[in-house]
Chains A and B, each alone.
Chain A
Amino acid sequence: MKIAVCIKQVPDSWAEKKMAGGVLDRANVDAVLNDLDEYAVEEALRIVEANSPTKEAGEASGHSITLISMGPERATEAIRKALSMGADDAILISDAALAGSDALATSLVLAEVIKKGNYDLVLCGTESTDARMSVVPAMIAERLAWAQLTFAGKVAVDPAAKKVEVERITEFGNQVMSAPFPAVLSVVEKINEPRYPSFKGIMAAKKKTISTISLADTGLAATSVGASAAWSTVKDALPRPARGAGVKLTDEGSGGEKLFDFLVEKRLA
């Protein structure tokens, strides 16, 4: 199987985020591999391990895992982390023209790169912790006209039959969905526990290939991506007025009653 995993470098979710000129200020915060993408990398590794004679990812498994990411040169840091978990190689699409791309442009670029790779499966996290839209996996599936198996809490792959089955988990319940290869999957957080890169993995990752390609290499025009091609625009972004300090009291035996009084006063109970 040829598996691709889409990953993104995002501002550290523990860091304070600010807007700069209508977009997220990415330059002045620590950047990390999107938490939720680690589950996709882990699941890809497990799919390979479950279907490899040696029960290990890597060349001997007969399968491959390629990371695909769009971002600045600096995104190689996040890519190295995913490589150290065990992915085989990576493609980074990096181009000044891509700055400010919206989800539509991002999915366009990713789909264009995926198209050229002959992949059987594409795995994604459900969302990035910076934009939090949860739309890119569905957009990629739509653009490629591939099966969409998203919000998977369980994945079962049958490489011989070239089929994949997932359990989709949403707020309205669970659904079992199946489709033939090729398919676009996104995986939810509860699906697995991502491994920590081992020392061996970290050393091996240093030798793995990250192919950096430009927008021109994808065949897409600069007019179809980037901030100027975004189909929505931010009018203004204002800090929300700080919540006024509320009532704070120490429970001396009647804290629950006082809480009740507050709820009644606010017509909430």
Chain B
Amino acid sequence: MSSVIFLVDHSGGKIAKASSELATFAKNIGQSIAVVFSANPSEIVAQLNTLPVDKVITASGDWDKFGVAAIADGLAQIIADKKPNALLITSSANGKEIAARVAVKTNSGIITDAVGVDKDLITTQSVFGGSTTVHSAVTTGVPVITLRANSIEPIAATSNPEVEEFAVNISDSAKLATITSATEAVKGGRPELTEASIVVSGGRGTNGDFKPVEELADALGAAVGASRAATDAGWYPHSHQVGQTGKTVSPQLYVAAGISGAIQHRAGMQTSKTIVAINKDPEAPILEIADFAVIGDLFNVLPQATEKIKARKA
């Protein structure tokens, strides 16, 4: 039977939602093996009991000090020992760099930003701003595959997996760069942009006033995004930029308010399941790809929708 190792992503003692998706992908392929790198693995392991996990491997070490390079060391050593059929990692900045180093260390092919992987380890990617769907496969080594968040509906399970401690030897070169201090991302009560199942974004049309965008986002439990025009103008932090040079998001619902929809913005959101656009300009390209488009002033449309949503919830 195939076995698939996946890297459990966690911060602040909590497992990231994307890890439950990786567990689901792994289980669909074969035996699902979770790997936890943590100074305190037990609190993370406890959270794996509701995921489809057959086995857990834990490694304690100075991961917070040495970061990506050390975790890549650990995964390469675990792969050499366990000989899995594939390694799955979340497509984040950290995840992709860990994948990159593991691929080099294990002489394996790598595929990043997949939105799916099937039983035969054929991946699906959505490229060129979602205009093209590509199916690929790794042909050498242990396939290293990174998967975007929100790619699959996680399956719930009750599991009581066997836990194995694995001793990792962190190489000297992985200790060259050290993390001297760290600040967690300010969550602000909103979900993380790339993980959120709903994203509400504002652009030039907000004129710098993101209040209606944020209020709709909060009513929907959504993350807030912004177009490059809005972040370049200093209206919203760069970390919220959606587009070719910013984050790529693929939520269930994407609301574009006052965003014209230049190709560079569309590249970052075009694979969203449902797209809603609000724009004053009837010629705005975003309206052409929207499932639901309102030609109108976002300062009227958004608050009206927000009120209705709040009233419904109350």
Chain A 124-150: CB-based contact to B (< 8 A → 1; otherwise 0): 001001001111111101110111111
Measured CA separation A129–B238 after assembly (Å) = 17
Q: A139-B103, A250-B295, A259-B301 are in contact. Are A176 and B176 (CB under 8 A)?
A: no
Stretch from A67-75, A81-89, A92-100, A167-175 that touches the partner = A167-175
Contact (Cβ within 8 A) B295 A251: yes
A169 to B239, CA, bound (A): 9
Partner of A255, one of B109, B138, B192, B300: B300
In the docked arrangement, what's the CA distance between A81 and B132, Å?
31
CA distance A101 to B94 in the complex (A): 24
Known: A171-B193, A173-B185. A240 touches B132 (CB 8 A): yes
Given contacts A243-B289, A262-B276, contact A146 B173 (CB under 8 A): yes
Is B135 engaged at the interface, CB distance under 8 Å to the other chain?
yes
Nearest-Cβ distance from residue B1 to partner chain A, whole angstroms: 24
CB of B135 within 8 A of CB of A135, answer no
* Contact in complex: A149, B132 (CB < 8 Å): no
| Interface: A44 (CB within 8 A) | no
Of A17, A189, A264, which is within 8 A of B312 by CB?
A264
- Given that A104-B104, A135-B110, A231-B108 are known contacts, is A177 also in contact with B302, CB under 8 Å in the complex? no
Could you tell me if A268 and B274 are in contact, using CB atoms closer than 8 angstroms?
Answer: yes
User: For the complex, is A28 an interface residue (Cβ under 8 Å from B)?
Assistant: no
Bound CA span A249–B116, Å: 34
Question: Is B139 positioned at the interface, with any CB of A under 8 Å from its CB?
Answer: yes
Measured in the bound complex, the distance between the Cα atoms of B103 and A183 in whole Å is 20
With A171-B185, A179-B177 in contact, do A138 and B133 touch (Cβ < 8 Å)?
Answer: no
In the complex, the number of residue pairs spanning A and B with C-beta atoms less than 8 Å apart equals 267
Cβ contact within 8 Å between A232 and B137: yes
In chain B, positions 148-192 with a C-beta closer than 8 Å to chain A are 173, 176-185, 192
Whether, in the assembled complex, B80 has its beta carbon less than 8 Å from a beta carbon of chain A, the answer is no
The answer to whether A216 has its CB under 8 Å from any CB of chain B is no
Q: Which residue of A lies closest to B247 (CB)?
A: A171
Q: Is the CB of A135 within 8 A of B182?
A: no
**Chain A neighbourhood of B282, CB < 8 A:** 250
**A221 near B: Cβ within 8 Å?**
no
Contacts of A220 in B (CB 8 A): none
Does B100 reach chain A (CB closer than 8 Å)?
A: yes
A260 partner residues in chain B, CB cutoff 8 A: 304-305, 308-309, 312
Instruction: Judge whether A247 is part of the interface by a CB distance below 8 angstroms.
Output: yes
Q: B-side binding surface: helix, strand, loop or mixed?
A: mixed
A232 contact set on B, CB distance < 8 A: 109-111, 136-140, 143
CB <8 Å contact, B292 and A246 = yes
Partner of A170 from B93, B108, B111, B293 at Cβ < 8 Å: B93
Can you name the residue of chain A whose Cβ is closest to the Cβ of B180?
A176
Cβ-defined contact, A240 with B300, below 8 A: no
User: Is A21 interfacial (CB-CB < 8 Å)?
Assistant: no
Q: Are B291 and A138 in contact (CB under 8 A)?
A: no
Chain A residues whose CB sits within 8 angstroms of the CB of B112 once the complex forms? 133-135
B309 touching A269, Cβ below 8 Å = yes
Contact A246 B108 (CB under 8 A): no
Query: Distance in Å from the Cβ of A204 to the closest Cβ of chain B?
Result: 28
Docked complex Cα distance between A266 and B309 (Å): 13
Main secondary structure of the interface of A (DSSP, over half): mixed
Contacts A178-B180, A232-B109 given; indicate if A190 touches B293 (C-beta within 8 A): no
Check A247/B177 contact, CB under 8 A, given A104-B104, A172-B92.
no
- Min CB distance, A224 to chain B, in Å? 11
Scoring B residues 114 to 155 as 1 if CB is less than 8 Å from chain A, else 0, what string do you get? 000000001000111011111111111101000000000000
Query: Whose C-beta in chain A lies nearest to the C-beta of B73?
Result: A142
A263 CA / B312 CA spacing, docked (Å): 12
CA distance A263 to B221 in the complex (A): 13
B244 CB within 8 Å of chain A: yes
Interface residues of B in 1-23 (CB under 8 A from A): 11
**Which chain A residue has the least Cβ–Cβ distance from B140?**
A231
Check B109 against A251 for contact (C-beta < 8 Å).
Answer: no
Give the distance in Å from the alpha carbon of A189 to the alpha carbon of B97 in the complex: 18
Taking CB atoms, residues of chain B closer than 8 Å to A256 are: 294, 300-308
Answer whether A172 and B309 are a contact pair too, CB < 8 Å, given A246-B290, A249-B295, A266-B274. Answer: no
| Stretch of B28-36, B47-55, B64-72, B202-210 with 4 or more beta carbons under 8 angstroms from chain A | B64-72
Indicate whether A235 reaches chain B with its CB closer than 8 angstroms.
yes
Contacts of A238 in B (CB 8 A): 132-134
Chain A residues lying within 8 Å of B92, measured Cβ to Cβ, are: 170-172
Please provide the 9 A-B residue pairs with the shortest distance between their CB atoms, ordered closest to farther.
A256-B304, A251-B296, A231-B109, A135-B100, A147-B176, A145-B173, A246-B291, A260-B308, A231-B140
A interface residue numbers (CB < 8 A to B)? 13-14, 17-19, 35-36, 102-104, 107, 126, 129, 132-139, 141-143, 145-151, 165, 168-180, 183, 189-190, 230-240, 243, 245-251, 253-260, 262-264, 266, 268-269
> Please, could you name 23 A-B residue pairs with CB atoms under 8 Å apart, sorted by A?
A138-B97, A138-B101, A139-B103, A143-B104, A146-B176, A150-B97, A169-B239, A171-B93, A171-B185, A176-B180, A176-B182, A230-B139, A231-B103, A232-B109, A238-B134, A243-B275, A246-B291, A246-B292, A256-B300, A256-B303, A256-B308, A259-B294, A269-B220
